[in-house]
Amino acid sequence: NTITSCCCFRFPRMMAGCKTFPIVCLQLYLHTRSMLRTCTRMASAACQHRVKSQMYAVESACKSPFYFTLKDNVSPVSSGTSNAWPFLAQGGYAHSLCVTTSQRVQAARLQKSMGKELTAMVPGIQVVKLLSYIPDNLHGSLQRGFLILDSQHHHDLQNKLEGLLRENQQDIQLCTYTEEEGRVWQSRWEVNGQVKEMDRSEVVAVNGPMPSPFVEILRGSAVYSSLQDVLSVLRESAKVIPEAEKLLKCMDLGNIPEKGSHPVIVIEGLDATGKSTLTESLKQHLKATLLRSPPDSISRWRKTFDDETSLIKRAYYALSNYVAAVDIAKASEVSPVIVDRFWHSTAAYAIATEIGGNIQNLPDHHHVVYQWPEDLLKPDLVILLTVSDEERIHRIRKRGLQETQEEKELEANSMFRQKVEEAYRRMENPGCVVIDAGASREAVLKNTLSIIKRHCDI
């Protein structure tokens, strides 16, 4: 407050007529913002220490997550709690369903199939992602699941959820939330012959931590930081997915491939930004080898992994970069190499898919998920192609997709696309050189060639 009021009242008076006033103000504003962020983090950390037991984080479509805990867990002195429960505002019920099994591949697959089943269970309900965890031991205690919002209180929903609990009683936990005179109660159900209410606790909304648990769990569940992490997930998956076994056999687990003397240039961007067009032209102009990730040798299993849960799907794409790196290393001994998508695609799409809501929920700049894995061949230059949404729509239409279906897709995914592009821009070491690819093919090529000449020995 002191800093803000200083900025608002004292500075204008002191600096009136001074030419550097806007710059001073901007610096002060940025400094204030960073201090406020630090304060919020400290306050959140303090809040976390007060809540020692089960916490729940609910993903929100546009804002940061909503957090709640059992009232008994919150010390009487703690501030930041509230009975306000946005989901039960118009009456109705809410339910939470969490996967309790600790085996990560099995848990991830069960969560995916439950998500599908819940969404189709009763028309009109809303299903949002939920995490249940103990703040002091996030990774050890994490359970993923859903909050099911039933504002119209459908009679058959509770029965269907109980059916789901009966079928998966060892692997899931079901709770129901109701509001009575301004207080919200959680009932926990268990199968004991019949489905019975085991206990009932009051729940309260609390402040959440910064960064959110959705950000904290990205690494290891969707963004991988080493080949070993990827292999470990694929080996576990091989027990239930035969293609994972075949994929593992394609990976040469020898030494990390070393880049040759010629430059390696990666072209990245959202779909229809012109990557294929540009990479083909660069291939001709630079007499380069053109490669892509996933490479042809493993692309036949792509569909299988695309249909899998994030943990497994992203492991496939992460591995595809390590497989492509072997070809890139060899090719760069004889010519420049152009790569159509590589690690930045894998990380940016994974982050944007896993983080709900808007861009503000993305991990902060310099977060570990934006760093290049140490054991993956590093390109000399990464170029990110960007075009406006209108131009992208135009190009996709011209490419021949169904207009209405495509338009719907595009509208629904506007936030997602913004998040992918912002995640690309935050990648580090190497970061992306951004090119406006809205210009003509010739202009984009010319611009790219001049950037390549500036960055690479060509």
Binding site for ligand ATP (CB under 6 A): 269, 271-277, 395, 398-399, 437, 440-441, 444
Which one of ligand ATP, ligand LCLUPRNS, none is in contact with 345 (Cβ closer than 5 to 8 A by kind)?
ligand LCLUPRNS
Question: Is 273 one of the binding residues for ligand LCLUPRNS (CB under 6 A)?
Answer: no
Question: Residues 148, 125: contact at Cβ < 8 Å?
Answer: yes
Query: Residue 441's binding partner, choosing from ligand ATP, ligand LCLUPRNS, none, with beta-carbon cut-off 5 to 8 A by kind?
Result: ligand ATP
Task: Report in angstroms how near the CB of residue 310 gets to ligand LCLUPRNS at its nearest.
Answer: 10
Contacted entry of ligand ATP, ligand LCLUPRNS, none for residue 194, CB cut-off 5 to 8 Å set by kind = none
Considering the complex, what minimum distance in angstroms separates the CB of residue 349 from ligand ATP?
11
CB of 276 to ligand ATP, least distance (A): 3
User: Between residues 48 and 273, which has the closer beta carbon with respect to ligand ATP?
Assistant: 273
Which of 340, 321, 330, 320 has its CA nearest to residue 258? Answer: 330
State the DSSP string of 296-346.
Answer: GGGGGGHHHHHTS-HHHHHHHHHHHHHHHHHHHHHHTTTS-EEEES-HHHH
Q: Which residues of 113-130 are buried (b: 16+ CB within 10 A; e: fewer)?
A: ebbeebeebbeebebbbb
Q: Among candidates 263, 457, 282, which has minimal Cα distance to 385?
A: 282
Burial status of residue 219 (CB atoms within 10 A of its CB: 0-12, 13-18, 19 or more)? middle
Question: Does 345 sit near ligand LCLUPRNS (CB under 6 A)?
Answer: yes
CB nearer to ligand LCLUPRNS: give 161 or 351: 351
Nearer to ligand LCLUPRNS, 177 or 349 (CB): 349
Query: What's the closest the beta carbon of residue 444 comes to ligand ATP, in angstroms?
Result: 5
Nearer to ligand ATP, 63 or 441 (CB): 441
Q: Which does 356 bind (CB under 5 to 8 A by kind): ligand LCLUPRNS, ligand ATP, none?
A: none
> d(Cα 346, Cα 224) in Å, to the nearest integer?
9
- State which of residues 87, 146, 349, 372 lies at the interface with ligand LCLUPRNS (CB under 6 A): 349
Burial of 424 (0-12, 13-18, 19+ CB in 10 A): buried
Rounded Cα–Cα distance for residues 127 and 74 (Å): 27
Local structure of 253: helix, strand or coil: coil
Output Rg (C-alpha) for the chain, integer angstroms. Answer: 25
Q: What does 13 bind: ligand ATP, ligand LCLUPRNS, none (CB cut-off 5 to 8 Å by kind)?
A: none
221 binds ligand LCLUPRNS (CB under 6 A): no
Q: Per-residue string for binding with ligand LCLUPRNS, 304-343, x by CB under 6 A? A: -------------x--xx-------------------xx-
- Alpha helices, DSSP H, located in 122-241: 138-141, 155-167, 213-216, 227-238
Q: Answer for the pair 87, 96: CB distance below 8 angstroms, yes or no.
A: no
Strands 381-386 and 433-436: parallel
Q: Which entry of ligand LCLUPRNS, ligand ATP, none binds 32, CB below 5 to 8 A by partner kind?
A: none
Angle between the N-to-C axes of helices 104-121 and 155-167, in degrees from 0 to 180, rounded to the nearest 10 = 160
Q: Is 370 in the site for ligand LCLUPRNS (CB under 6 A)?
A: no
Residue 393 and residue 403 in contact, taking contact as beta carbons nearer than 8 Å: no
Does an H or E element contain 415, and which?
helix 414-426
Instruction: Give counts: helices (H), strands (E), the chain.
Output: 17, 13
Q: Out of ligand ATP, ligand LCLUPRNS, none, which partner does residue 272 contact, by CB within 5 to 8 A per kind? A: ligand ATP
In contact, 234 and 247? CB cutoff 8 Å: yes
**What order do you get walking across the sheet with 264-269 strand by strand?**
289-292, 337-340, 264-269, 381-386, 433-436
Q: Which is nearer to ligand LCLUPRNS, 50 or 283 (CB)?
A: 283
Instruction: Compare residues 68 and 317 and give the one whose CB is closer to ligand ATP.
Output: 317
Selection from ligand ATP, ligand LCLUPRNS, none that 276 binds (CB < 5 to 8 A by kind) is: ligand ATP
Q: 2 contacts which partner out of ligand ATP, ligand LCLUPRNS, none, CB within 5 to 8 A by kind? A: none
Positions that interact with ligand LCLUPRNS (CB under 6 A): 271, 293, 317, 320-321, 341-342, 345-346, 349
